[in-house]
Amino acid sequence: MQRETVWQGRIVTLEIVDDFYEVARHAPAVAILAVRPGDGYVLGVEQPRPAINAVTWELPAGLIDPGEQPEQAAARELREEASLCGRLTFITRSFASPGFTDEEAFLFEAHDLVPCDGSPDPGEELHVAWRDPNEIWRNVADGTLATSSLTLLGIRHVLARQPERS
């Protein structure tokens, strides 16, 4: 394969592969699914996303720093975005849109959460919001809630564990 870099940014590199494919090389990421005991609400953060010109509700998430393991990044992001610490278990990994980007994302579930010191990265405008997973699913379906595909994967994970309703 012949690769030509046409643009290099902080987290994205654009390439032309074999004079045909446009590929976005993207730093890997993590997301953290946290379910509140008792009511089953899911932890999310509301934040403005200029790329889609909307405020989204997403699982706490972020990029993996160079030299950092996915689980370490997940613990850091949970602390930074929600001021929470806990035990993490790996759920799955996925690719955002493999037709044009290699962005890989790792999904973890947080357990035994406790408050801890943390603050968002400079420039991030975050609001922590716990929500009912059924409401999230309905709001995404009716188009009133913008979110990420990894968040949807986490919500489906929660909903799949719920007892069926008749």
pLDDT digits (tens, 9 = 90+) for 66-100: 999 999 999 999 999 999 999 999 999 999 999 99
Residue 123: predicted pLDDT: 80
Q: Quick one: what percent of the chain has pLDDT higher than 90?
A: 91
pLDDT of 114 reads 97
Question: Are 112 and 36 within 8 A, CB to CB?
Answer: no
Read off the pLDDT of residues 42-60 as tens digits, 9 standing for 90 and up: 999 999 999 999 999 999 9
| pLDDT band (50, 70, 90) for residue 165 | low
User: Does residue 105 carry a pLDDT above 90?
Assistant: yes
| Residue-level pLDDT at 60 | 97
Taking only the tens place, the pLDDT of each residue in 27-45 is 999 999 999 999 999 999 9
Whether 108 and 74 have beta carbons less than 8 Å apart is answered as yes
Distance (Å, whole) CA 42 – CA 48: 19
Q: Which residues have CB under 8 Å from 54's CB, separation 6+?
A: 48, 146
Residues 6+ apart with CB under 8 A from 59: 31, 32, 33, 34, 42, 43, 44, 45, 107, 148, 150, 151, 154
Q: What is 3-161's CATH superfamily?
A: Nucleoside Triphosphate Pyrophosphohydrolase (3.90.79.10)
Instruction: For tokens 């716990």, name the residue.
Output: 130
- pLDDT value of position 50: 95
What percent of the chain lies above the pLDDT cut of 70? 99
Q: Decide which of 47 and 125 is more confident.
A: 47
What does the block give as tokens for 70?
């996915």
Q: pLDDT band for position 164 (50/70/90)?
A: confident
Q: Is residue 166 pLDDT above 60, yes or no?
A: no
